[in-house]
Chains A and B, each alone.
Chain A
Amino acid sequence: MHKHTGLLIAGFLSSTVFAGAALAAGTHLQTGEALADDQTFTYRILDEHSSVDPQVVEDVSGAEIVRDLFEGLMNQDRDGNLVPGVATGFTTNDAKDVYTFTLRDSAKWSNGDPVLASDFVYAWKRAVDPELSSPYAWFMELMSIENAAAIIAGEKPLDDLGVSAIDDHTLQVRLSAALPYFPQMTTHSTTFPAPQKVIETHGNAWTKPENIVSNGAYILTEHLPQERSVRERNPLYWDNENTIVEKVVALVINDENVALTRYMAGELDRTEVPAGQFPRLQKEHPAEAISFPRLCSYYYTFNLSEDGPEAFKDPRVRQALSLAVDRKIITEKILAGGQPEAYTFAPEATAGFTVPEVEMSAMTQSERDSLAKELLAEAGYGPDNPLSFNMIYNTSESHKKIAVALGQMWKQKLGVQTDLGNLEWKVFLETRGNQDFDLARGAWCGDYNEASTFLDLLQSNSGYNDGKYQNDRVDALLAAAKISDNTTKLYTEVEQILAQESPIIPIYHYAGVYMMDSDVGNWPVDNVEQNWYSKNLYKIAE
């Protein structure tokens, strides 16, 4: 057995540097900052969350709340490193297909019951239970837990799931394949424990504030759908003495401009900056307008299926279109929120991923444009035989601006005719999923912080490969990366093939662009997944 305590200790130290002990009386013990008397953090969410049931929640704002209410085996620190949660550590075998987690005995539910290994076993079985039919059941499959797929398919009983409680504080997980990044996946809300007795007593209504029992640093005290939800400090949380923020309020504000107005009026501590407004806000409020990289990519995908246009089957055409996109105009003139330009699919912010040298990124835009013209001419398209195709995107002001800009660039530089199609979200998803398009907008945020969460999308049989790109070499490299200890070489080659063949046009990588009140301390800007925990925040006295 290999001990992984080294990693854990390092992670734990880095997290305690900032998030560590500080008590009600005035100053933060590590930073020495004076703490505000009112430790309430109020932030805006775009839409009502889908649920606060850890096994059921499927949206980002719901998961943010669940991460405060419940605690899984492992947590992330401000940089996204793994730190202990309910588990104090874990061990794995040589084959990396059995993981054993040791649970701390001080962990308690908010009703005083101890958090036991059996609570995790119950929760994980619940996640794959066809009867609960969790939309995130696939995450358990992704984690390669033994028999997860068969149980979801109804072919095996729940009890065959590869997870068991060796004793009250030891949890063993058996995987169907080696997975070096398995522990990282236990920070995901689907894997959080669930209180069996409470769920069995209240059924679907167990997540209502009057019924809910949770094991995280906060408990849900109020929920007014479409208006607000409030969570307050849980005095029974094992690390309660290090929690500083007393109360967290999430306000549902659908319109981002209204949210910004309310932020300016002092009603919010955090809100998103609408596209294009960042430069002005940064000038007027330099301490509050912040932008940092996120683990997401924005791209356009070519339809390479049978139904796709003949022209796109020629890689030169695809490459020419990709080259002619002046990404700087999109990131600096349209979005203007500090988004990095993208020449590769996986963002630079991905852990353990070095952006490979792709030819295009080293060229100037005019070099790219002239190469694009050459390639397109070679492929037989020009003034006599103009290239024309449709491109679809879903309704949104900034998607529209970007699509118009792309069409304009291609028209001016290459004489290409584009036909823009603006589709309502569900119609868009269906159209794209049925390969009923020539070129379609796409965006992807990593499910976990590792390059495969992006690159796997281009695997031939991936359910997310809407462009139906097929390349045996790419498939082989991605399969090899699953069990390799050194993935850099493999991912570099995949990205180089992608740059050469251009099945997609990467456009930019996302940035978190916020207005954040300067009295909010320790916001994890370096956590690219933006997995933040209210227990690590604090409010500084003004």
Chain B
Amino acid sequence: MIAYIIRRLLAAIPTILVLIVASFFLMRFAPGGPFTSERPLPPQVLANIEARYGLDQPLWKQLYDYLFNIIFHFDFGPSFKFKDRDVNDIIAQGFPISFTYGALSFLVATVVGVSLGIAAAIRHNTWVDYFAVGLGIAAQALPNFIMGPILILTFTLWLGLLPGGGWHGGQWQYLIMPVIALSTSYMGSIARITRSSMLEVLNSNFIRTAHAKGLPTRTVIWRHALKPTLLPVVSYLGPVFVYVLTGSVFVDMYFSTGGLGQAYGGSALSRDYAVLLGVTILYGILTVAVNLLTDLAYAWFDPKIRF
């Protein structure tokens, strides 16, 4: 197991390197640059700016300097758009925010989704099932960019209960709407996957055997059915975890939370190479880490899997 983890971590290094190099070049191929603007800068002014950010160097040199600074100084460079901030600053400020509302959304989506799915499967073809399925589908049909405005209209304008946006250090009033908006559609998907997986497990031979040897239903479900049920759910949760943790452009856009999602989306549009690349690397590392965790989780859920 330990050997497996070390092997996976070592394999992650070339993966991340490939990610950096590929993103680095792809970004440069996109038309326009960080300093293309409505008012084209006079050539001399542009030349000074490019010299300051090293953009006048050949691409290989830029890539080399970039990697060198990351590896030896852990410095992801200055932002091209926000002149008094650098990428480390932007990530340090945005990531904790995204992480907070992302982790909460993940928790809500998983707990509520799995509970709904299990309830629906156990009470298959009863009103509980119909209710859970109905709720799941409705939730899935409401992506966060629809939920955002609806929530603000309801809770801020009509009911006057919650502030319409902002973060304020993560006070609870400011967390409720972002978490609901971000978790609903995942919750719907998780409920659906859990339900169908549970139904399948409940129909399998070993469950019938368990019932046959006289185990109480509660034990059958919790002790025997739950783990295999969650296997497909876990493989879905891995990518969702990375996605919600790294923030959502829409949540940041509608609720002015100041998370990393907006910084990421915005940097792509403004061609802020350094921010875009810095956040991409962060996402890459998170993805690799979460994939590893997911794989390790498989071993716990399914005794047949061994590393």
Looking across the interface, which residue of chain B has its beta carbon closest to that of A57?
A: B83
Q: Is B30 a contact of A261 with CB atoms below 8 Å?
A: no
Is A359 part of the binding interface, using a Cβ–Cβ cutoff of 8 Å?
Answer: no
B25 within 8 A of A: no
- Asked whether A181 is an interface residue with its Cβ less than 8 Å from the other chain, the reply is no
1/0 contact trace for A28-68 toward B, CB 8 Å?
00000000000000000001101111001010000000000
Q: Which residues of A contact B52 (CB under 8 A)?
A: 131, 133
B160 near A: Cβ within 8 Å? yes
Contact of B40 among A137, A424, A463 (CB under 8 A): A463
CB of B253 within 8 A of chain A?
yes
**B238 an interface residue at 8 Å Cβ cutoff?**
no
> In whole angstroms, how far apart are the Cα atoms of A138 and B38 in the complex?
14
Q: Which residue of B lies closest to A252 (CB)?
A: B256
What's the least CB distance linking A370 to chain B, in Å?
36
What size tier do the contact residues of chain A reach?
A: 35 or more
In the complex, the chain B residue whose C-beta lies closest to that of A436 is B31
Task: Name 25 A/B residue pairs within 8 A (Cβ), A-sorted.
Answer: A53-B84, A130-B51, A133-B45, A133-B48, A133-B51, A133-B52, A135-B41, A135-B45, A137-B48, A138-B42, A153-B44, A204-B78, A226-B257, A227-B167, A228-B256, A252-B256, A255-B148, A255-B254, A426-B32, A426-B269, A427-B30, A427-B32, A429-B32, A431-B31, A443-B38
Cβ-defined contact, B149 with A257, below 8 A: yes
Residue numbers in A under 8 Å from B78 (CB-CB): 204
Are A427 and B35 neighbours in the complex by a CB distance under 8 Å?
no
Chain A 446-498 residues near chain B, CB threshold 8 A: 463-464
CB A174 to nearest CB in B, in angstroms, measures 21
Contact partners of A205 in chain B: CB under 8 A: 84
Contact of A464 among B39, B252, B258, B263 (CB under 8 A): B39
Leading 10 A-B pairs by shortest Cβ distance: A426-B32, A227-B258, A262-B164, A133-B48, A226-B258, A51-B83, A254-B253, A133-B52, A133-B49, A130-B48
A225, B90: Cα distance in complex, Å: 8
Contact of A440 with B by CB under 8 A: no
Q: Which residue of B lies closest to A228 (CB)?
A: B166
Asked if B81 and A50 make an inter-chain contact with CB atoms under 8 angstroms apart, the answer reads: yes
Asked if B36 and A261 sit within 8 Å, CB to CB, the answer is: no
- Given the interface pairs A138-B42, A224-B258, A226-B258, the reply to whether A261 lies near B164 with Cβ below 8 Å is yes
Interface pair A430/B36, CB less than 8 Å apart: yes
B residues near A424, Cβ cutoff 8 Å: 269
Q: CB distance B257 to A227 under 8 Å?
A: yes
B143 cross-chain contacts in A, Cβ below 8 A = none
Tell me the nearest residue of chain B to A52, going by C-beta: B84
Residues of A within 8 A of B136 (CB): none
Chain B nearest CB, measured from A475 CB (Å): 19
Residue B278 CB within 8 A of the other chain? no
The chain B residue sitting closest to A434, CB to CB, is B31
Among B38, B93, B148, the one with the most A-chain Cβ atoms within 10 Å of its Cβ is B38
Chain B residues within 8 Å of A, Cβ to Cβ? 30-33, 35-42, 44-45, 48-49, 51-52, 78, 81-86, 90, 93-94, 148-149, 152-153, 156-157, 160, 163-167, 252-254, 256-259, 262-263, 266, 269-271
Query: CB < 8 Å: which of A252, A262, A267, A429 contacts B38?
Result: A429
**A227-B256, A265-B156, A430-B32 known, 16 other contacts, Cβ within 8 Å:** A47-B266, A130-B51, A135-B35, A135-B37, A153-B44, A204-B83, A224-B93, A225-B94, A225-B258, A226-B263, A228-B166, A261-B149, A261-B153, A261-B157, A429-B38, A431-B31
Q: Which residue of A lies closest to B42 (CB)?
A: A138
A426-B36 contact, Cβ under 8 Å, with A56-B84, A253-B165, A255-B254: yes
Bound complex: CA A350 to CA B261 (Å): 40
In contact, B40 and A464 (Cβ under 8 angstroms): yes
Q: What B residues does A248 contact at CB under 8 A?
A: none
Chain B residues with CB below 8 A from A207, complex form:
84
> Closest CB-CB distance, B48 to chain A, in whole Å?
4
CB distance from A460 to the nearest CB of B (A): 16
Which residues of chain B have C-beta atoms less than 8 A from A131's C-beta?
Answer: 52
- Establish whether residues B252 and A226, one from each chain, have CB atoms under 8 Å apart when the complex forms: yes
Cα distance A58–B86 in the bound complex, in angstroms: 17
Chain B CB within 10 Å, residue with most, of A135, A141, A264, A464: A135
Contact between B269 and A433, CB atoms less than 8 A apart: no
A518 to chain B, nearest CB (A): 19
Bound-state CA distance A254–B253 (Å) is 5
Which residue of the partner chain A has the closest CB to B166? A227
Cα–Cα, bound, A427→B30 (Å): 8
Q: How far is the CA of A149 from the CA of B44 in the complex (A)?
A: 9
- Across the interface, do A427 and B31 meet the contact criterion of CB distance under 8 Å? yes
- Would you call A225 and B93 a contact (CB within 8 A)? yes
Query: Considering the chains assembled together, what is the distance between the CA atoms of A141 and B157 in angstroms?
Result: 49
For B35, B78, B156, the residue with the greatest tally of chain A CB atoms inside 10 Å of its CB is: B156
Q: With A152-B44, A429-B37 given, is the CB distance from A56 to B253 under 8 Å?
A: no
Q: Is A425 an interface residue (CB 8 A)?
A: yes
**Given A131-B52, A425-B269, A426-B31, is A50 in contact with B166 using a C-beta cutoff of 8 Å?**
no
CB contact under 8 A between A138 and B165, given known A56-B83, A131-B52, A226-B94:
no
* A58 and B263 alpha carbons, distance in the complex (Å): 18
Q: Mark A413-442, 1 if CB is under 8 A from B, else 0.
A: 000000000001111011101000000000
Nearest Cβ on chain B to A132's Cβ, whole angstroms:
8
Complex interface: chain B residues within 8 A of A53 (CB): 83-84
B157 shortest CB reach to chain A, Å: 5
| Most-contacted residue by chain B among A52, A228, A261, A264 (CB, 10 A) | A261
- Nearest CB of chain A from residue B92's CB, rounded to whole Å: 11
Task: Please name the residue on chain A nearest to B40 by beta carbon.
Answer: A463
CA distance A255 to B78 in the complex (A): 27
CB-based nearest B residue for A426: B32
A251 contacts the other chain (CB 8 A): yes
A258 at the interface (CB under 8 A from B): yes
Q: Is the CB of A262 within 8 A of B252?
A: no
B152 CB contacts on chain A under 8 angstroms: 258, 261-262
Closest to B82 in A: A50
Q: How far is the CB of B298 from chain A (nearest CB, A)?
A: 37
Determine how close the nearest CB of chain B comes to the CB of A498; give it in whole angstroms. 20
Q: CB-nearest residue of chain B relative to A264? A: B157
Complex CA distance for A361 and B148, rounded to whole angstroms? 45
User: When chains A and B are docked, how far (Å) is the Cα of A443 from the Cα of B164?
Assistant: 32
Do A255 and B84 contact each other (CB < 8 Å), given the known contacts A135-B49, A425-B269? no
Residues on A with C-beta less than 8 A from B165 are 251, 253, 258, 262
Return chain A residues, CB-CB under 8 Å to B160: 265
Distance between Cα atoms of A443 and B39 in the complex (Å): 10
Bound-state CA distance A464–B37 (Å) is 11
Q: Which residue of B lies closest to A205 (CB)?
A: B84
CB-CB under 8 A from B84, the residues of chain A are 51-53, 56, 204-208
Distance in angstroms between the alpha carbons of A204 and B83 in the assembled complex: 8
Q: How far is the CA of A405 from the CA of B299 in the complex (A)?
A: 61
B254 contacts A258, CB within 8 Å?
yes
- Report the bound CA distance from A134 to B35 in whole Å: 11
Query: Within the complex, what minimum Cβ distance (angstroms) separates B216 from chain A?
Result: 51
Question: Which A residues are in CB contact (< 8 Å) with B257?
Answer: 226-227
Complex alpha-carbon distance, A234 and B271, angstroms: 37
Given contacts A56-B83, A251-B165, contact A226 B256 (CB under 8 A): yes
